């Protein structure tokens, strides 16, 4: 129920002063307003406080909330989504098959920034709006990046003398929400921060006051001691971080990947690290070639699973943002964070 509904009711009343006719129409709108079923489907569950917050938003907006957690069989996902009008997921894969089973689905929101787990073509073909929740986990990812960097420069706490981050040149590839938070924290460490973003001008980057702009990503690797990746996995970026590009880094260079594993040319990076014993690679996305990378003891680290957004705060922020976006979509048609066309 929104102000437009009420105004419509007022207009159709027999007389502008006919209060009874006005109220009768308003009551009819309330009675006939469809309650939407919003499903939260998370193989890796939200924190309880996040689930409670999502449920509160959904129910306060007059809708029904359903929850599927820790499922191990995709058929359970298919069954749960069959009558859902809206879907909230984390890293769960919303494939064409899932969408085929979701006959009533109108919107799906990925609680997080990355959305390569959503089949955008299938969503578009069905007229389903796909969204993400940008910015909600940015600080969590940025803090992890800096934590991994401290770990790397201190030789993974092996007891041997390491180095400091102060005065080092940090290059940030893609200067969105996460990249800017990395820059903010890095400045606190006394680092010299540079950035490149294919979708921002040098003036836009430098207007933030957080980083110096470079001409292209090649210049970023050439000029910096450390490069932190924040690019999405697209047709243009997949395997773009390769032997030639990383090979341009300074002696003792460190590559940090908290973006997507697909952007790394793993074969090329393995070859380069075998040739250059000064390079280090740290990531919160375990590579497919994890066993081969482990041969570079003291120069490689990967978390067991994707860890960037794994904080209670990010968990809550992203989940509740997803619920609010869905509620607003059903109320006003707002598609601000739509990622498909």
Q: Assess whether 181 and 48 both reside in one domain.
A: no
Please write the tens of the pLDDT for every residue from 147-182: 999 999 999 999 999 999 999 999 999 999 999 999
pLDDT at residue 8, as a whole number: 53
Structural domain boundaries, residue 127: 34-136+312-332
Cβ pair 279, 249 in contact under 8 A: yes
Q: How confident is the model at residue 73 (pLDDT cuts 50, 70, 90)?
A: very high
Q: Structurally, how many domains does the chain consist of?
A: 2
pLDDT at residue 297, as a whole number: 95
Q: How confident is the model at residue 26 (pLDDT cuts 50, 70, 90)?
A: low
Q: Assess whether 269 and 317 both reside in one domain.
A: no
The tokens describing 263, both together, are 């952007």
CATH number for the domain spanning 116: value is 3.40.50.720
pLDDT at residue 251, as a whole number: 97
For residue 201, tell me if it sits in a domain: yes
Q: Assess whether 101 and 180 both reside in one domain.
A: no
Determine what percent of the chain is predicted with pLDDT higher than 70.
90
Q: Assess whether 81 and 202 both reside in one domain.
A: no
Q: How confident is the model at residue 13 (pLDDT cuts 50, 70, 90)?
A: very low
Q: Assess whether 167 and 49 both reside in one domain.
A: no
- Does residue 19 register a pLDDT over 70? no
Mean pLDDT across 239-260: 97
Q: Which residue has the higher pLDDT, 27 or 108?
A: 108
pTM for the whole structure? 0.81
For residue 184, give every residue at least 6 positions away whose Cβ sits within 8 Å of its Cβ, in sequence order, or none: 142, 210
For residue 109, tell me if it sits in a domain: yes
- Does residue 29 register a pLDDT over 50? no
Q: Assess whether 120 and 228 both reside in one domain.
A: no
Give burial (CB, 10 Å; 0-12/13-18/19+) of 211. Answer: buried
Helices (H) and strands (E) in the chain, counts: 14, 12
Transcribe 79-108 into DSSP letters: HHHTT-SEEEESS--B-HHHHHH-TT--EE
Cβ pair 266, 212 in contact under 8 A: no
Please write the tens of the pLDDT for every residue from 121-141: 999 999 999 999 999 999 999
Side-chain half-sphere exposure of 196, counting CA atoms within 13 A? 17
For residue 337, tell me if it sits in a domain: no
Q: Assess whether 256 and 320 both reside in one domain.
A: no
Residue 148: closest CA among 138, 161, 136, 157: 157
- Does residue 340 register a pLDDT over 60? yes
Q: Assess whether 97 and 149 both reside in one domain.
A: no
Cβ pair 211, 203 in contact under 8 A: no
| CA angle at 260 for the pair 257 and 263, rounded to the nearest 5° | 85
pLDDT at residue 145, as a whole number: 98
pLDDT at residue 114, as a whole number: 86
The torsion angles phi and psi of 74, rounded to 5 degrees, stand at -60, -25
The tokens describing 318, both together, are 């992203």
How does the average pLDDT of the chain come out, rounded? 92
Q: Assess whether 53 and 165 both reside in one domain.
A: no
Q: Assess whether 188 and 124 both reside in one domain.
A: no
Q: Assess whether 234 and 325 both reside in one domain.
A: no
pLDDT at residue 335, as a whole number: 97
Q: Assess whether 59 and 80 both reside in one domain.
A: yes
Residue 210 DSSP SS3:
coil
The tokens describing 210, both together, are 């957080």
- Does residue 54 register a pLDDT over 50? yes
Q: How confident is the model at residue 341 (pLDDT cuts 50, 70, 90)?
A: confident
Residue 203: closest CA among 188, 191, 213, 218: 213
Q: How confident is the model at residue 27 (pLDDT cuts 50, 70, 90)?
A: low
Rounded Cα–Cα distance for residues 234 and 137 (Å):
21
pLDDT at residue 32, as a whole number: 45
Q: Are strands 226-229 and 169-173 parallel, antiparallel or unpaired?
A: parallel
pLDDT at residue 30, as a whole number: 47
């Amino acid at each position: 129920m929104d102000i437009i509904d009420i105004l419509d009711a007022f207009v159709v009343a027999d007389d502008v002063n006919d209060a009874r006719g006005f109220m009768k129409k308003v009551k009819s709108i309330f009675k006939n307003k469809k309650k939407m079923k919003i499903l939260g489907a998370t193989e890796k569950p939200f924190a309880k406080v996040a689930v409670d917050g999502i449920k509160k938003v959904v129910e306060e907006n007059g809708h029904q909330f359903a929850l599927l957690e820790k499922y191990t069989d995709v058929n359970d996902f298919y069954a749960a989504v069959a009558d859902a009008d809206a879907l909230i997921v984390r890293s769960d894969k919303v494939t064409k098959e899932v969408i085929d089973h979701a006959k009533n689905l109108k919107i799906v929101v990925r609680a997080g920034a990355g959305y390569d787990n959503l089949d955008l073509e299938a969503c578009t073909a069905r007229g389903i709006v796909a969204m993400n929740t940008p910015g909600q986990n940015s600080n969590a990812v940025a803090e992890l990046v800096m934590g991994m960097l401290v770990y790397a420069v201190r030789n993974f706490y092996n007891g041997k003398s390491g180095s400091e981050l102060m005065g080092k040149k940090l290059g940030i590839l893609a200067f969105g929400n996460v990249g800017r938070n990395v820059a903010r924290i890095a400045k606190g460490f006394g680092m010299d921060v540079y950035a490149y973003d294919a979708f921002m001008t040098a003036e836009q980057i430098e207007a933030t006051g957080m980083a110096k702009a470079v001409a292209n990503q090649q210049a970023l690797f050439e000029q910096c001691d450390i490069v932190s990746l924040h690019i999405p996995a697209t047709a243009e970026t997949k395997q773009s971080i390769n032997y030639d590009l990383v090979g341009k880094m300074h002696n003792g260079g460190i590559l940090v990947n908290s973006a997507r594993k697909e952007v790394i040319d793993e074969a090329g990076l393995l070859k380069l690290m075998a040739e250059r014993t000064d390079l280090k690679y740290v990531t919160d996305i375990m590579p497919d070639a994890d066993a081969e990378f482990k041969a570079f003891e003291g120069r490689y680290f990967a978390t067991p699973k994707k860890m960037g957004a794994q904080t209670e705060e990010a968990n809550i922020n992203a989940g509740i943002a997803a619920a609010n976006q869905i509620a607003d979509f059903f109320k006003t048609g707002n598609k601000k964070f739509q990622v498909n066309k």
